[in-house]
Protein backbone atom coordinates (compact mmCIF):
# COMPACT_ATOMS: atom_id res chain seq x y z
CA UNK A 1 0.00 0.00 0.00
CA UNK A 2 2.74 2.44 0.96
CA UNK A 3 4.58 1.63 -2.27
CA UNK A 4 1.49 2.56 -4.34
CA UNK A 5 0.98 5.76 -2.37
CA UNK A 6 4.62 6.78 -2.87
CA UNK A 7 4.41 6.09 -6.63
CA UNK A 8 1.22 8.15 -6.84
CA UNK A 9 2.78 11.10 -5.03
CA UNK A 10 5.91 10.96 -7.21
CA UNK A 11 3.80 10.86 -10.40
CA UNK A 12 1.60 13.70 -9.15
CA UNK A 13 4.66 15.84 -8.42
CA UNK A 14 6.29 14.93 -11.74
CA UNK A 15 3.23 15.72 -13.85
CA UNK A 16 2.53 18.88 -11.86
CA UNK A 17 6.01 20.16 -12.71
CA UNK A 18 5.77 18.96 -16.33
CA UNK A 19 2.30 20.25 -17.15
CA UNK A 20 2.13 23.17 -14.75
CA UNK A 21 5.60 24.61 -15.16
CA UNK A 22 7.80 23.18 -17.92
CA UNK A 23 5.14 22.89 -20.66
CA UNK A 24 3.71 26.44 -20.20
CA UNK A 25 7.20 27.96 -20.03
CA UNK A 26 8.25 26.06 -23.17
CA UNK A 27 5.19 27.27 -25.07
CA UNK A 28 5.70 30.85 -23.87
CA UNK A 29 9.34 30.68 -24.97
CA UNK A 30 8.42 29.28 -28.39
CA UNK A 31 5.71 31.91 -28.74
CA UNK A 32 8.10 34.73 -27.86
CA UNK A 33 10.74 33.34 -30.19
CA UNK A 34 8.63 32.56 -33.25
CA UNK A 35 5.49 34.67 -32.89
CA UNK A 36 6.50 37.55 -30.63
CA UNK A 37 3.84 40.04 -31.81
CA UNK A 38 1.00 37.51 -31.51
CA UNK A 39 2.24 36.23 -28.15
CA UNK A 40 2.11 39.78 -26.81
CA UNK A 41 -1.51 40.29 -27.97
CA UNK A 42 -0.87 41.83 -31.42
CA UNK A 43 -0.72 45.41 -30.11
CA UNK A 44 -1.19 48.37 -32.42
CA UNK A 45 1.25 51.11 -31.43
CA UNK A 46 1.02 54.74 -32.55
CA UNK A 47 3.54 57.35 -31.41
CA UNK A 48 4.92 54.92 -28.82
CA UNK A 49 1.51 54.31 -27.24
CA UNK A 50 -0.51 51.09 -27.51
CA UNK A 51 -3.90 52.15 -28.89
CA UNK A 52 -5.44 48.70 -29.13
CA UNK A 53 -5.01 45.20 -30.44
CA UNK A 54 -5.55 43.93 -33.95
CA UNK A 55 -7.29 40.93 -32.36
CA UNK A 56 -9.90 42.63 -30.15
CA UNK A 57 -12.53 45.07 -31.36
CA UNK A 58 -13.21 48.46 -29.83
CA UNK A 59 -16.43 50.42 -29.52
CA UNK A 60 -16.42 53.41 -31.86
CA UNK A 61 -19.49 55.62 -31.55
CA UNK A 62 -18.57 58.95 -33.16
CA UNK A 63 -19.93 59.48 -36.69
CA UNK A 64 -16.47 60.22 -38.09
CA UNK A 65 -15.35 56.67 -37.32
CA UNK A 66 -16.28 53.34 -38.81
CA UNK A 67 -18.30 51.27 -36.38
CA UNK A 68 -17.56 47.63 -35.74
CA UNK A 69 -19.86 44.75 -35.03
CA UNK A 70 -22.08 44.87 -31.95
CA UNK A 71 -20.44 43.10 -29.03
CA UNK A 72 -22.07 40.58 -26.74
CA UNK A 73 -19.00 40.53 -24.49
CA UNK A 74 -19.79 42.23 -21.20
CA UNK A 75 -20.21 45.98 -21.62
CA UNK A 76 -18.80 45.82 -25.12
CA UNK A 77 -15.54 44.25 -26.24
CA UNK A 78 -14.63 43.20 -22.70
CA UNK A 79 -12.15 40.36 -23.25
CA UNK A 80 -12.83 39.08 -19.73
CA UNK A 81 -16.45 38.41 -20.75
CA UNK A 82 -15.89 36.93 -24.19
CA UNK A 83 -18.96 35.06 -25.36
CA UNK A 84 -21.77 35.15 -27.82
CA UNK A 85 -25.24 36.20 -26.79
CA UNK A 86 -26.76 32.76 -27.47
CA UNK A 87 -29.92 34.51 -28.62
CA UNK A 88 -31.88 32.62 -31.26
CA UNK A 89 -33.81 34.03 -34.22
CA UNK A 90 -37.07 33.95 -32.27
CA UNK A 91 -35.63 35.96 -29.36
CA UNK A 92 -37.38 39.28 -28.77
CA UNK A 93 -34.20 40.61 -27.14
CA UNK A 94 -32.25 39.90 -30.33
CA UNK A 95 -34.93 41.44 -32.55
CA UNK A 96 -35.03 44.56 -30.35
CA UNK A 97 -31.23 44.85 -30.40
CA UNK A 98 -31.12 44.54 -34.19
CA UNK A 99 -33.90 47.13 -34.51
CA UNK A 100 -32.04 49.56 -32.23
CA UNK A 101 -28.79 49.04 -34.15
CA UNK A 102 -30.58 49.62 -37.46
CA UNK A 103 -31.99 52.90 -36.09
CA UNK A 104 -28.45 53.97 -35.24
CA UNK A 105 -27.54 53.49 -38.91
CA UNK A 106 -30.74 55.21 -40.00
CA UNK A 107 -31.71 52.40 -42.36
CA UNK A 108 -34.10 49.43 -42.29
CA UNK A 109 -32.36 46.29 -41.01
CA UNK A 110 -32.80 44.57 -44.39
CA UNK A 111 -30.60 47.17 -46.09
CA UNK A 112 -27.70 46.91 -43.62
CA UNK A 113 -24.95 44.29 -44.03
CA UNK A 114 -25.69 41.55 -41.45
CA UNK A 115 -22.30 41.78 -39.73
CA UNK A 116 -23.13 45.32 -38.62
CA UNK A 117 -26.28 44.07 -36.90
CA UNK A 118 -25.14 40.87 -35.19
CA UNK A 119 -22.36 40.12 -32.74
CA UNK A 120 -19.69 37.57 -33.51
CA UNK A 121 -19.42 34.31 -31.59
CA UNK A 122 -16.76 35.73 -29.25
CA UNK A 123 -18.23 39.22 -29.07
CA UNK A 124 -14.70 40.56 -29.65
CA UNK A 125 -14.33 40.47 -33.44
CA UNK A 126 -12.26 43.47 -34.61
CA UNK A 127 -13.27 43.02 -38.25
CA UNK A 128 -16.23 43.87 -40.42
CA UNK A 129 -16.93 42.79 -43.97
CA UNK A 130 -15.84 45.01 -46.86
CA UNK A 131 -19.57 45.50 -47.54
CA UNK A 132 -20.04 46.64 -43.94
CA UNK A 133 -17.22 49.16 -44.32
CA UNK A 134 -18.44 50.42 -47.70
CA UNK A 135 -21.93 50.83 -46.25
CA UNK A 136 -20.53 53.40 -43.80
CA UNK A 137 -18.40 55.40 -46.27
CA UNK A 138 -21.02 58.11 -46.90
CA UNK A 139 -21.55 58.84 -43.17
CA UNK A 140 -17.84 58.83 -42.34
CA UNK A 141 -16.92 61.00 -45.33
CA UNK A 142 -19.59 63.58 -44.46
CA UNK A 143 -18.55 63.67 -40.78
CA UNK A 144 -14.88 64.15 -41.69
CA UNK A 145 -15.44 66.58 -44.55
CA UNK A 146 -13.71 64.23 -46.99
CA UNK A 147 -14.84 62.99 -50.37
CA UNK A 148 -16.56 59.62 -50.47
CA UNK A 149 -13.97 58.51 -53.03
CA UNK A 150 -11.09 59.28 -50.65
CA UNK A 151 -12.71 57.35 -47.80
CA UNK A 152 -13.65 54.45 -50.10
CA UNK A 153 -10.04 54.29 -51.29
CA UNK A 154 -8.84 53.93 -47.67
CA UNK A 155 -11.40 51.15 -47.14
CA UNK A 156 -10.21 49.32 -50.26
CA UNK A 157 -6.58 49.64 -49.12
CA UNK A 158 -7.47 47.97 -45.81
CA UNK A 159 -9.36 44.93 -47.10
CA UNK A 160 -7.54 41.85 -45.83
CA UNK A 161 -7.70 38.68 -47.90
CA UNK A 162 -8.65 35.29 -46.42
CA UNK A 163 -5.89 33.67 -44.37
CA UNK A 164 -3.65 31.50 -46.55
CA UNK A 165 -5.85 32.60 -49.44
CA UNK A 166 -8.70 30.25 -48.54
CA UNK A 167 -9.52 30.43 -44.82
CA UNK A 168 -12.29 32.85 -43.92
CA UNK A 169 -13.68 35.79 -45.83
CA UNK A 170 -12.23 39.14 -46.88
CA UNK A 171 -12.38 41.52 -43.91
CA UNK A 172 -11.48 45.00 -42.70
CA UNK A 173 -9.91 45.68 -39.30
CA UNK A 174 -11.96 48.58 -37.91
CA UNK A 175 -9.26 49.99 -35.61
CA UNK A 176 -6.61 49.99 -38.33
CA UNK A 177 -9.07 51.57 -40.77
CA UNK A 178 -9.93 54.35 -38.31
CA UNK A 179 -6.24 55.01 -37.60
CA UNK A 180 -5.62 55.35 -41.34
CA UNK A 181 -8.54 57.77 -41.62
CA UNK A 182 -7.17 59.86 -38.76
CA UNK A 183 -3.84 60.07 -40.61
CA UNK A 184 -5.65 61.01 -43.85
CA UNK A 185 -7.69 63.72 -42.12
CA UNK A 186 -4.49 65.32 -40.76
CA UNK A 187 -2.97 65.71 -44.22
CA UNK A 188 -3.18 69.34 -45.39
CA UNK A 189 -4.17 68.36 -48.96
CA UNK A 190 -7.43 66.84 -47.77
- The confidence score (pLDDT) of residue 187 equals 58
- Judge whether 50 and 99 are in contact, CB under 8 Å: no
User: Where is pLDDT greater, at 38 or 115?
Assistant: 115
User: Where is pLDDT greater, at 187 or 146?
Assistant: 146
Q: What is the pTM of this model?
A: 0.78
Q: Write out pLDDT tens, residues 14-28.
A: 999 999 999 999 998
C-alpha pair distances (Å), 187 with each of 47, 146, 159, 175 = 17, 11, 22, 19
Domain ranges of the chain: 1-40, 42-186
C-alpha pair distances (Å), 21 with each of 11, 38, 39, 79, 178 = 15, 21, 18, 25, 41
Q: Write out pLDDT tens, residues 38-66.
A: 788 788 888 888 888 888 888 898 999 99
Amino acid sequence: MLQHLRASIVLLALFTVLTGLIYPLALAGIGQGLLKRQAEGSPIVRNGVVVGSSLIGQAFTKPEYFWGRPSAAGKGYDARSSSGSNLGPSSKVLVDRITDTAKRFGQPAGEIPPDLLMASASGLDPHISPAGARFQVKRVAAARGLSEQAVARVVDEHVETPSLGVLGEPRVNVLELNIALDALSRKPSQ
